[in-house]
A = this chain, B = another copy of it.
C-alpha cells in the first residue's frame, strides 16, 4: 500500500496536498514532523535524505521531492491534467513550475531558514550537520521574492494562470511560495495587481485548504 510521509504544516508537503485535493485522490499519510519542529528520528533513520514529502511505494521504493511525486501520480491519474495537455503545454508548465520553485520556493525558504529563531543552525534543509543562519541573506531573499513577484505578475498580465489558460502544478508551487513568504511577513508588492488577482483566485479554490 502506497504511503506518504508528511509534515502537514510544511510548504513542500503542501504542494502535494493541493495536488491530491485537485485530483480528489486520497493516499494514507503518516505525520513525521515532531513537536520540536524537527523531523522524527525514526523517519530520518528510515530515509536519511531527511526531506518531506516522501512517497513510499508498495515495493519499498522511496520517492522524494514533491513534484517528482506529483508527476509520478499524474501518470496514473491524468484527469484533470495538471502537468499540461500536449507536448508544448507540458514544456511550458514544466518551465514555469521550475521557476516558481527556484525563484519562489527557494527564496522563501532562504528567508525563513535564515530568520526564524527556531531554525538556528538549520540554515539549509535536509542536513544533519549544523548550518549557521546568515542574517545577510534575509534582505537578499526578500529581494529575490520581490523579483519573483514582478516576473510572475508580468506573466499573469496576459495569462489567467501561471502557465497559461489552465490551472497547473506551476500555480501550486507559486501559491505555496507566496504563502511560505507570508510566514516571514513577505507580501506580494501592491503594484503587482495581476498577481494579486491570481492569488485571490487560486487561494479560493478548495484545494488551497488541503
Contacts and interface: CB of A to CB of B under 8 A. Distances in A.
Interface of A: 49, 57, 59, 61, 63-65, 67-69, 71-72, 75-76, 87-88, 90-92, 94-95, 98-99, 102, 106, 123-124, 127, 129, 131, 134, 136-137, 140, 143-144, 147, 151
8 contacts: A49-B151, A61-B88, A63-B95, A72-B94, A76-B87, A124-B140, A131-B140, A134-B136
A98 B143 contact: no
B65 A98 contact: yes
Contact of A91 (B63, B127, B129): B63
A91 B67 contact: no
Contacts of A124: 140, 144
A173 to B, nearest CB: 12
Contacts of A88: 57, 59, 61, 72
Given A59-B88, A65-B95, 10 more contacts: A63-B91, A65-B99, A69-B91, A71-B91, A72-B88, A76-B87, A131-B143, A134-B137, A136-B136, A137-B137
Contacts of A92: 61, 63
A129 B144 CA distance: 11
A57 to B, nearest CB: 7
A57 B134 CA distance: 42
Contacts of A90: 71-72, 75
